[in-house]
Structure 1
Amino acid sequence: MPKLPLPRLHQAAWLAVALLITAPSATLAEDGAATVYAPNPRLLVQGIPDVPQSLADRVGAYNDFRGHAFVDWHPSRREMLISHRKLGANTAQLYRLSSPLGEPEQLTEGADPVTRASYEPRQGRYIVFERSAGGSEEGQLYRLDGSGQPAQQLTPSEQRHELQTWLHRSSELIYSALPLDRTAKGGSRAEVNTSFWLLDPMKPEGRRKLAELPGGGWSLRSVSPDDKQAALIRYVSATEAELWLLDLRSGASRQLLPRPGSQDGPAFYAPAEFSRDGKQLWLTSDRFGEFLELARLTLANGDLRRVSSQIPWDISDVALSADGRRLAAIANVDGRRELRLFDALSLKELPRPALPAGSVTAAHFDAKGQQLALALNNARGPSQIVSLDPKGTLQTWTRPQVPAGIDVSQFGEQQIVRWRSFDGETISGLLSLPPARFAGKRPVIISIHGGPESQASVGFLGRNNYFLQELGIAIIQPNVRGSAGYGKRFLALDNGFKREDSVKDIDALLDWIATQPQLDASRVLVTGGSYGGYMTLAVSTHYADRIAGAIDVVGISHFVTFLQNTESYRRDLRRVEYGDEREPAMREFLERISPLSNAERIKKPLFVIQGKNDPRVPYTEAEQIVAKVRAGGTPVWYLRAENEGHGFQRKENQDYQFYATLLFLQQTLLQP
């Protein structure tokens, strides 16, 4: 990395910032020693220095932003379910909100979060929710009859379950089930099937299997108004998915799109909702171009009509009002999620309502189709919920809860920046700059999203605002090739043998940083989770001389061992993206580019964070890179949570991770 000269005043300022973390102002015990913030017993801590209690005290407020996520409308009352973490709690739980800005009534509690649930759709007599233990993602369904009563488990524990949808004419639901590797002989499965079940939550012993389909990429999206058929998506890859119909009586399934035997090439088809007469199906597809468009399929003749071709961005989260006259959808406009409304009869786009600044992360009509619940997120606060009526009137249901002493009105908006990569491809990202009071060139954290078929999007940065507001560190969230939101060509640019082209996009970003007068190219730290963890490790092997350190969170360290050890229901889906390790040429390529194979090149300090119960990227991916990098003499910090999976969900674990991250920044990025 080229070293840029730093003014003396700038160096002195950074020394002061570093001392914010390590200043000798920690509370003293009776023997004169500074008190320490101890990790909880479920955390394995290796190589990480003691966290001073004074650091935790200073940072604590930034760990307690608390928003609200919309879950479901009550079928007959103006009431909703929300998910929220209350003050002092460790995880998000279900709450009933009976009126706008009312006091939420807590419905669930426990060590594991609850974020997905649904009212019984006819009278709202009970609630069915999903929960998994310890981050394992082994989801189970539970019935909750009322607050204060114990929940009844509805599904057998030896499989992974997801609530799909309800029937219209009875209080029966459809859920999916996938087998787990821990129940297989030898700990792995050569084949995986997805089964769909019909269940009356009041009589779970009478559940009935509807169908069993090959593979792990199936999901049921909508049931026809007469309860005779359901729309299925068969996910093949981020750029290919099929639309199927399932007969709910016979269990027979048939493919609708792409039409079997036709000349239609692969495309992505995602069913949304049946029309109220059952004759048509609303869906999104990229069949006509680069982006996912809203479309309407006439089932009788297969006519597929484009609806949102005028919007050059991906459309998702399609919702149809109860009377079948209005559609709500979300357009992903360069990383900002915008609400779009359509007339379902004329197929014309309706005027856009005035909404608060930020992104719309969810849109759901109530049972009468009169109220549209919206979850909103912006740079100045976590998620809040509002409702929108047909006249365009907004009503606030929740307000984000911000810790005392933090003025979020001073938080800056994210800027979209772009740079040219090695092959001329334009890459974009989100840049967050610290307040103007921080003079001189600012150090930089490059934070790479997972997926890779995901996207860094505009929204609240949570506790990471501490980096900006208190330490003066700039944050860049790149959307390297392979990211969603920029068309299917861009989405496929990193597939298979093109994997390291995305790593080169970060090399080009480092070049761009060096041209920016407000950024310090001599002090850059890279971090990321999941696939972003792989990218972090890959950047550490290729560009060790250009970074100050790296933080890998639940990242892939070796593609072959990852594909061999990830849960079997995910394996074939990941092979489409990364390549099939059973093919000799691909296996040799994956072996060669994997960070573990190049661990001797990692020369800058590394911090690895992992959940022991991760079914996606097994903890062995973390432990093998930790061992090999340490063997090469490079310092490695390692943090493993025994009760977490693919990322930490418990506040006490998140807090310690954040404090340790600040210590790591002090030793790498914040040194003058």
Structure 2
Amino acid sequence: MLKTLITTAITTAIMAVALGGCSNSSNSNDVKPQADPIDLVASNSVAFETYNAEEFYKTTSVFGSSINHLGNAVLVSNDKSGIFNAYRVPVDGSPSKQLTFSTKESVFVESWFPKDERFLYSADKGGDELNHLYVQELDGTDVDLTPGEGLKASVMSWHEDEQSFFVVTNERDAKYFDVYQYNTEDYSRQLVFKNDSGFSVESVSPNGRFIALSKSHSNSNSDLYLIDLRLKMAKPRLLTEHSGDVSYSVDTFSKDNKRLLYATDEFGEFNQSWAYDLATGESTLSYKADWDVSFSYFSKDGRFQITGVNADAQTQLIITDLTTNSELQLPTLPSGDLRGVNFSDDSSSMVFYINSDTSPSNLYTHKLGTDSILRLTNSGNPNIKEQNLVTGEVVRFKSFDGLDIPAILYKPKQANMKKVPALIYIHGGPGGQSRKGYSATVQHLVNNGYAIIKINNRGSSGYGKTFFHLDDKRHGEDDLQDVVYNKKYLQTLDWVDADKIGVMGGSYGGYLTMAAMAFTDEFKVGINIFGVTNWVRTLESIPPYWEAFRKSLYDELGDPTTDKERLHNISPVFFGEQVKSPVLVVQGANDPRVLKIESDEMVESIRSGGTYVDYLVFDDEGHGFSKKANRISASNKYLEFLNTYL
């Protein structure tokens, strides 16, 4: 869990958008684009079309699946206007209605109120990640529930009495998040948990009695705690007494307030789902698989349990009817992965997304007990035909030490006629994971003749805890060799031009991109998208609200006080003169994680050695690009750079 701390929930969604993907997202059908010029290419006598970035981004990225109290509308964010705003999508298929009209800051929806159509949403300023929580009133006015400067806040959950909700904010102490209970009528609040001991607040029980907390001891060892708010002077109670390195994380409380669902790797390589009985203190197995059980949650009335399994870079959803203890049987669904499932208050209907490599997510609704499935969005640009896009194939190759490295390979249609250049695409994290699913950036590059292989180098999540920890304090070393051996794998493919292979990535993937360019001479080009280049500065300047897992971060990457020499030696900014091939750097000016000065200095360091570097900065973005115009500009720049230098 802690290896993915360079991507939080909101930023994960933005990162997916920034790099052209959709995270439990869909695209609206409100845009009627005019056709831009396209090229027709003959492939083995079969014509296919190539498209520009503007065509790929004539979609409306959408996420969110909160169903209102009447069961007749879904609350979503989409970027139809070029920036994310809130929309009301009726479940009968009638046109959606825009609810917020921001022109500067992206609006990320949270949920409807339980008894009316007020709703909660969050927003930061220019990507600074200092999110405030807002409510939109019935008359359309917006109220900042967490006013102030320099704070970060988010909603936790609703109380089962539907008269209050829980919020975490670090306004009292920038390092730690406290829990407040807000009244739904006048938004008055009370502090219910003061966090002075470095806990991470995980979940609040529906009746508001219990709070589940976690504490990290290292990047492979953690504990869960429970606090009972009915007890005066209550102290957190340890739930997970254990020996050795075991990781625990909270999923949710059961709707009857009797159990706490959590995940643990105590019993093998992969996370299993367990249920802790709050009365007896006993834990029982809830669900296990041959892969990580990623999450588990319940429908609003507690009838259904939704469990996600991370099966070889694709999420498999299991929906269990707890009244019959059997899996919910759904009608035949459109091809693709099922995502973002949510139920109405009485579980009579559900909404969900379907996503595939060749189609952005679409939002659907289904009335249980019928064969009816209604699509609520038409996400794809009608000018782009799915047959012109490419489905990724999961492959594996041997690295320098014989370790199997998984990856997702996209073969462009041009490869049926000639050898094509290729790019190794590295995910963020460092413990992230490249996954199947639609990415406008990937499809744009593949459609224009570039092979893409999305590597899951050692240290990636989803392949067991041993694999996950193989890069601990080995960053820029063993994981970099995985990237080099990925190149060697590509050179074995008879349709890849062995002399034209580059590397690109965002965040930690941007770091490995720059490491590949500075510490090897293997790659013809590099595209660094807000990548860490100075580990000493990055680890010394982490946001104060990461304090709860500072030690785990240092266990993973190194302590800038005691490991300064090693961190210096793996930081590309100090070795930019060694870069001998062209580089493109892309950065958000407001990035709180990878400060702009890092990219500034990286660019100057490369130029000091006489190597060409192009530099694109977005003044209104942070660690990810949420504005559509900026995503188009970035994607155009990627292709222009590659066409020139690869």
TM-score after normalising by structure 1: 0.83
The aligned residue for residue 208 of structure 1 is: 190
Q: Is the 8 A contact 1:107 1:146 kept in 2?
A: no
How far did 1:323 drift? Answer: 4.3
| 1:415 to 1:69, Cα distance in 2 relative to 1, 3 A | same
The aligned residue for residue 362 of structure 2 is: 384
Percent identical: 28
How far did 1:129 drift? Answer: 1.0
Q: Does 2:87 align with 1:104? A: no
Q: Is the 8 A contact 2:575 2:605 kept in 1?
A: no
Q: Does 2:279 align with 1:297? A: no
Q: Is the 8 A contact 1:327 1:342 kept in 2?
A: yes
| 1:622 to 1:257, Cα distance in 2 relative to 1, 3 A | farther
Q: Does 2:304 align with 1:326? A: yes
Q: Is the 8 A contact 2:210 2:226 kept in 1?
A: yes
Query: 1:198 is aligned with what amino acid?
Result: Q
How far did 1:642 drift? Answer: 1.5
Q: Secondary structure, in 3 states, of the residue corresponding to 1:658?
A: helix
Q: Secondary structure, in 3 states, of the residue corresponding to 1:198?
A: strand
| 1:437 to 1:498, Cα distance in 2 relative to 1, 3 A | closer
The aligned residue for residue 51 of structure 1 is: none
Which of 498, 503, 518 is the equivalent residue of 2:480?
A: 503
Larger Rg: 1
Query: 1:69 is aligned with what amino acid?
Result: F
**Separation in structure 2 between the aligned mates of residue 251 and residue 318 of structure 1, nearest angstrom:** 31
| 1:581 to 1:494, Cα distance in 2 relative to 1, 3 A | same
Q: Is the 8 A contact 2:65 2:340 kept in 1?
A: no
| 1:609 to 1:667, Cα distance in 2 relative to 1, 3 A | same
The aligned residue for residue 37 of structure 2 is: none
Q: Does 2:549 align with 1:568? A: no
| 1:323 to 1:152, Cα distance in 2 relative to 1, 3 A | closer
How far did 1:387 drift? Answer: 3.3
The aligned residue for residue 228 of structure 1 is: 209
Which of 130, 136, 140 is the equivalent residue of 2:122?
A: 130
How far did 1:358 drift? Answer: 2.5
**Separation in structure 2 between the aligned mates of residue 274 and residue 392 of structure 1, nearest angstrom:** 30
How far did 1:466 drift? Answer: 2.3
Query: 2:499 is aligned with what amino acid?
Result: S
Q: Does 2:52 align with 1:75? A: no
Q: Is the 8 A contact 2:64 2:110 kept in 1?
A: no
Q: Does 2:138 align with 1:162? A: no
Which piece of structure 1 moves more, 232-241 or 328-337?
A: 232-241
Query: 2:309 is aligned with what amino acid?
Result: A
Deviations 1:213-242 (A, max 9, x none): 247761332424x32122234456664443
**Separation in structure 2 between the aligned mates of residue 556 and residue 599 of structure 1, nearest angstrom:** 13
Which piece of structure 1 moves more, 275-284 or 590-599?
A: 275-284
TM-score after normalising by structure 2: 0.86
Q: Does 2:178 align with 1:199? A: no
The aligned residue for residue 164 of structure 2 is: 172
**Separation in structure 2 between the aligned mates of residue 233 and residue 176 of structure 1, nearest angstrom:** 14
| 1:614 to 1:520, Cα distance in 2 relative to 1, 3 A | same
How far did 1:125 drift? Answer: 4.2
| 1:219 to 1:116, Cα distance in 2 relative to 1, 3 A | farther
Q: Secondary structure, in 3 states, of the residue corresponding to 1:455?
A: coil
Q: Is the 8 A contact 2:203 2:213 kept in 1?
A: yes
How far did 1:160 drift? Answer: 0.7
Which of 515, 533, 542 is the equivalent residue of 1:557?
A: 533
Q: What is the root-mean-square deviation of aligned Cα atoms in Å?
A: 2.5
Which of 362, 365, 373 is the equivalent residue of 1:395?
A: 373
**Separation in structure 1 between the aligned mates of residue 181 and residue 559 of structure 2, nearest angstrom:** 35
| 1:374 to 1:234, Cα distance in 2 relative to 1, 3 A | farther
Q: Is the 8 A contact 2:72 2:92 kept in 1?
A: no
Q: Does 2:108 align with 1:115? A: yes
Query: 1:289 is aligned with what amino acid?
Result: G
Q: Unaligned 5+ residue runs, structure 1?
A: 1-55
Q: Is the 8 A contact 1:483 1:490 kept in 2?
A: yes
| 1:114 to 1:354, Cα distance in 2 relative to 1, 3 A | same
Q: Is the 8 A contact 2:366 2:374 kept in 1?
A: no
Deviations 1:184-225 (A, max 9, x none): 9xxxx8xx2221112225423x3222223247761332424x
**Separation in structure 1 between the aligned mates of residue 178 and residue 499 of structure 2, nearest angstrom:** 53
The aligned residue for residue 638 of structure 2 is: 661
Q: Is the 8 A contact 2:53 2:635 kept in 1?
A: no
Deviations 1:130-185 (A, max 9, x none): 111100111011110136x23111112221111111111142221111259xxx9x
Q: Is the 8 A contact 2:82 2:627 kept in 1?
A: yes
Q: Secondary structure, in 3 states, of the residue corresponding to 2:339?
A: strand
Q: Secondary structure, in 3 states, of the residue corresponding to 1:213?
A: coil
- How many equivalent pairs are there? 591
**Separation in structure 1 between the aligned mates of residue 426 and residue 571 of structure 2, nearest angstrom:** 17
How far did 1:393 drift? Answer: 4.0
**Separation in structure 2 between the aligned mates of residue 279 and residue 455 of structure 1, nearest angstrom:** 34
Q: Does 2:520 align with 1:543? A: yes
